[in-house]
Chains A and B, each alone.
Chain A
Amino acid sequence: MSEKRNRMVEKSNNKRRRVKLVPEFSINDHQDVLVEILRRLDGPSLCSAACVCRLWSAVARNDSIWEELCFRQVSPRPSPSLRSIVSALGGYRRLYFICIRPVLARLPTIIWSHDQLQLSLSLYCVHSYERLYVGAWLGDAPPSSLMFLRKPVNVV
């Protein structure tokens, strides 16, 4: 019995030695690779990934990941000039959560062409305008023109 055990321990030791010969690879040391991987995820998976650890959460805030997510189904792909505008309005991550995701939820069969993209951007633009510049002039709650996109909560 003990001989068998000794042999098993030896085997595992060998394995460990073998592994040591190969340089360790940690994805956390290569954040650009991590970004590339996260870029290919879908929405829910991306959100799960963002919950893994603080580092991944910070990496997931990289806007290019969300840009990919927003425009994956859009063809033709919008021009790069869109990037600066969307960043000015609040970024792709916000665009996805506020606008694209509710739209996809409500119209799952939507075909994303120029008009649909234009409308989404217009809605996002008005929302950003209200959020950034109009502020809380209405009193308690800041205005939100995209209230209609939120799921209605049953308040009895």
Chain B
Amino acid sequence: MKRDLHQFQGPDTRFPNHGTPNTLSSSSSSKDKLMMIKEEEDGGNMDELLAVLGYKVRSSEMAEVALKLEQLETMMGNVQEDGLSNLATDTVHYNPSELYSWLDNMLTEFNPPPPEINSSFLAGAGGSDYDLKAIPGNAVFARSNHFAIDSSSSSNQAGDNNSKRLKSCSSPDSLVTGTTTVTTTTTTTTATESTRSAALATESTRSMVLVDSQENGVRLVHALMACAEAIQNGDLSIAEALVKQIGFLAVSQAGAMRKVATYFAEALARRIYRLSPPQTQIDHSLSDTLQMHFYETCPYLKFAHFTANQAILEAFEGKKRVHVIDFSMNQGLQWPALMQALALREGGPPVFRLTGIGPPAADNSDHLHEVGCKLAQLAEAIHVEFEYRGFVANSLADLDASMLELRPSETEAVAVNSVFELHKLLGRPGGIEKVLGVVKQIKPVIFTVVEQESSHNGPVFLDRFTESLHYYSTLFDSLEGVPSCQDKVMSEVYLGKQICNLVACEGPDRVERHETLSQWANRFGSSGFAPAHLGSNAFKQASMLLALFNGGEGYRVEENNGCLMLGWHTRPLITTSAWKLSAAH
């Protein structure tokens, strides 16, 4: 034991001029004599790893000690900004072995930490910087030098107090040296040793801290928020360090929290390193597949389709020829059910015309045409006269009413349907206004809109991040009840892509700009639409659908001003609303 400690002699015996960079790296030196005394005194419930280095920390207090070390470092780092320059110029080497009480004293001596979350997370950043230091490279050591020169310690006066306090804690005076100047040469050579062993020390403390996953859950959320705030403030280096910490903490969680944190961490990393996520247009077939899996796993899309269909069915009552314009064609899963309902209505089915609008396929195949063929086959089987037209458009804003071959409204009733498509237009100026204008030109009897119920389009990145973190956490929670299968994994990937776009992209690339029902209602109202109430039939069908999923625990249908909201427990997640042209138009 003694031989191992040989290289870790205390500063006053080996390096008389050695002023260690900061208190954390000072923890590397040790006194073997002291350690042995302490061990005898305290009966040995001390952490062994740290004891090797000469520091007495009780295993039960490890987490607190780590936290306090971080806090202390933050405050020392922050002191410079507070204008207490006298603290910044002098460096004092401390080498207490009784860490817990010494830290307490040091912390109370400084100003109490600021109430904002930032400080403890910058501390987290500082802590994780030690991970970076394990990698050799100039930048890393430059950082430690920075700390070496600028780090503060208490002034002489405080030092005396400290020595007094340390005395009362039964640590020998020899550990506390007077003020010393720091020479860069010595620090660089000793920094390597000290930082590596400090890294060891912090790593060993960290591995102890991770055992409590509930506390880590809170730390994880705080770290996510801090990272987002750092990005917003432009502190990319801190954000980078935090992202690594988030990745580490996310693994310690289980279930929905782990998945959500992983996706958000990836999205944040993409934002920091400016890696653009793959374009959705290129991966259109992939996103179609993912949406199919999402359709099968959970009730959201089914709810959307069935409630919208019910509204359209009621609006088409008595009409002999009907035309549906679908902004969100995808695989056309919404329309078989509507065709069947139309086939069964009293008086027989009307003539059903469908116009599907979708983005171009990657491999130039006419997948809209294929979907149309399949729907036509079904229509033939159930004896519904069917007509189909597919339009490929990069964006809905490229559409014009003249392209749609509208027939006079006396002969044909038109409905417009949009499921999770309208929010993509909000990135472009004038996009949504143009589309609403086109819809008005179409003069539909009903305009059904299904959108996510959350505010992910605010101007402030941090607000968007917070909102989306809550929203997707709730969504992933609702998926937890589904037994694990490939469908579930693909559904999570589907949601993960949305998260990635929301967090990592900006400008026209950011298409997932969700808005709440009230925001959409304002927009529709000012464009000349009036709400059409969804009837009780839609509500009953939705309730039954949800009751079939997992016994309906958790899912809730709510009616809100004639619109139906599907939510998980108390949080509404998607909203179906129906609109008609207001009387003035």
Interface set of A (CB-CB < 8 Å, partner B): 78-79, 81-82, 84-85, 88-89, 102-103, 106-107, 110, 114-116, 118-119, 121-123, 125-126, 128-130, 132-134, 138, 141, 143-145, 147-149, 152-155
Contact = CB atoms under 8 A, between A and B. Distances in A.
11 contacts: A107-B544, A115-B537, A122-B340, A122-B341, A123-B337, A130-B333, A132-B377, A132-B381, A133-B375, A134-B331, A143-B292
Nearest to B285: A137
Is chain A's interface secondary structure helix, strand, loop, or mixed overall?
A: helix
Contacts, number: 105
B381 A88 contact: yes
Nearest to B370: A137
Given A107-B544, A130-B333, 7 more contacts: A79-B344, A81-B344, A82-B344, A88-B381, A121-B340, A122-B337, A145-B295
B541 A148 contact: no
Contacts of A85: 340, 343-344, 382-383
A121 B344 CA distance: 10
A138 B288 CA distance: 10
Given A119-B306, A133-B378, A126 B292 contact: no
A134 B335 CA distance: 13
B341 A147 contact: no
B336 A118 contact: no
A88 B382 contact: yes
A119 B340 contact: no
Contacts of A141: 486
A105 B64 CA distance: 53
Contacts of B382: 84-85, 88-89
Contact of A106 (B337, B482, B540, B547): B547
Contacts of B375: 133
Contacts of B302: 145
B297 A148 contact: yes
Interface string B339-379: 11101100010000000000000000000000000110110
B296 A145 contact: yes
Nearest to A148: B549
A115 B544 contact: yes
Contacts of B340: 85, 89, 121-122, 125
B336 A125 contact: yes
Contacts of B551: 106
Nearest to B299: A148
